Chains A and B, each alone.
Chain A
Amino acid sequence: MILTVTLNPTLDKFYWVDRLPLSLERAQEEILIRARKSASSAGGKGINVSVFLACMGVETVAMGFLAGHTGQIVLRDLLARGATANFVWIEGETRTNVTIIEKGKEYHPVKVHEQGPPVPPRAVDVFLRKYRRMLKRADYVVLGGALPPGIPADFYGELVRLAGEQGVRAVVHAGGKALEVALDAGPYFIKPDVREVPQVAGLPAKSEQEIIRAGQHALEKGVEICLISHDVTGDLLITPDGLWDLQARVPLSEFKNLVGADDALVAGVLYRLVAGDHVLDAVRFGMAAAIASAEIEPKLCLSKPAIELEMKQVEVVRKEGG
């Protein structure tokens, strides 16, 4: 079973528009943007991973915190997609994240993210008890996304440590400080995106050399798979067996919706790892899942044949120095 943790879930709301105003600063009383189309779905990195895995027939349980009416909508959507849910309910309202996608500029969306409700200490205790219990039935746990208000900064470290005690492989699908504090607890697989925070394991990660050095530093801390996104279409895979550059050979103009593509990547890798694939093959499938997801308007591509079709678009080059 693959357990996923989304501490700050969202209702992802998408608006597709023909045109955005050129400048929001232009003096006008109001700006009306008419959406050509809209859609919403349960979201957050861990939840997206669970949705993907459930649709591929992998047993998965999604955990985290939900609140209010929006939390009910998120839960309902998640259950409808076949995932198992085990959330702690808190006061307030689960956040809504809005993405506005302009025709012709799909790779450059406008996003508005809410902060999410604060998590009280008692709810954290309840969560940790549930989490320890669910770890007993898990093979992997995916920790994904931002920490909500009220959650201590070192929380991912604690969750990775608890997973390690139970022999469960931890995947940290986050970057910045959340990843940095989790590294000492020895996660198995990390997937930072240096476009968001140009840093991995506390080291700068802007240039390719810096990214490689930071990834190798993560390996020294016990990480076995370090997959670093540095470009819309590019990732670097750093493992004890070597270093690979992965490129999606797809023009940006092909992309319809980039939200969730990196979650499809992580979910695709895990889907193939639990099936017994070698890491490199699993990552290739994950990249194909990310491309297939980015090429459609819905957040995730859940069609295995469509993903397999994209495998040929993934270019894998072994690099020196790995």
Chain B
Amino acid sequence: MKAREFMRRDLTSVERDATVGEVIYLMEQSGLSSLPVLDDEGVLVGVISEKDLIRAALPGYLEMLHSASFLPNLNQLSRRLKEMAGEPVSKYMHSDVISVHPDDEDLQIADTLIRHELKQVPVVDGEGHLVGVIRRIDLLYHLV
């Protein structure tokens, strides 16, 4: 089955000059943990995730959480996130975006998600416009 047949046709996204504060607000309102970043033409130019923001706010924090059995206080993370809130998302997004096409087969998409350890992958048309998103759960649901 092709991506277009089971992709989630949700174009919730931000533009690259959106601020970090706006991104966090949109993630909270929409319930999405990562968002596609688009240019003025609607072409996918990046992806920003919660993890990217935490990593940018406090480099090494996520690694520390993995290796330590305790949580240090959140004051530093909070202070840094507030400092970042007015900055453009383009400063923190991933520009080397992995995406799939509407005519890609489900097997190919599963391979992409597994190989790159992705929770979701954007779907773009031939001109790079965002046309949907495939989450791991969409693929699992489709396979079941």
Residues of A that sit less than 8 Å from B by CB: 61, 67-68, 71-72, 75, 79, 82-87, 89-91, 126, 129, 133-134, 136-137
Contact = CB atoms under 8 A, between A and B. Distances in A.
A286 B8 CA distance: 29
A89 B9 contact: no
B11 A61 contact: yes
13 contacts: A61-B11, A67-B29, A68-B29, A79-B10, A84-B10, A85-B11, A90-B29, A91-B29, A129-B15, A133-B41, A134-B42, A136-B41, A136-B42
Contacts of B42: 133-134, 136-137
Interface residues on B, range: 10 to 19
Given A84-B132, A85-B9, 20 more contacts: A61-B11, A72-B31, A79-B9, A82-B9, A84-B9, A84-B131, A85-B12, A86-B10, A86-B11, A86-B12, A89-B12, A89-B26, A90-B29, A91-B29, A126-B22, A129-B15, A133-B38, A133-B40, A133-B42, A137-B42
Interface of B: 8-12, 15, 22, 25-26, 29-31, 38, 40-42, 129, 131-132
Contacts of A79: 8-10
B29 to A, nearest CB: 4
A162 to B, nearest CB: 14
Given A91-B29, A133-B41, A84 B11 contact: yes
Contacts of A82: 9
B44 to A, nearest CB: 12
A68 to B, nearest CB: 8
A69 B30 CA distance: 9
B41 A83 contact: no
Contacts of B11: 61, 84-86
Nearest to B27: A89
Given A134-B42, A136-B41, A89 B10 contact: no
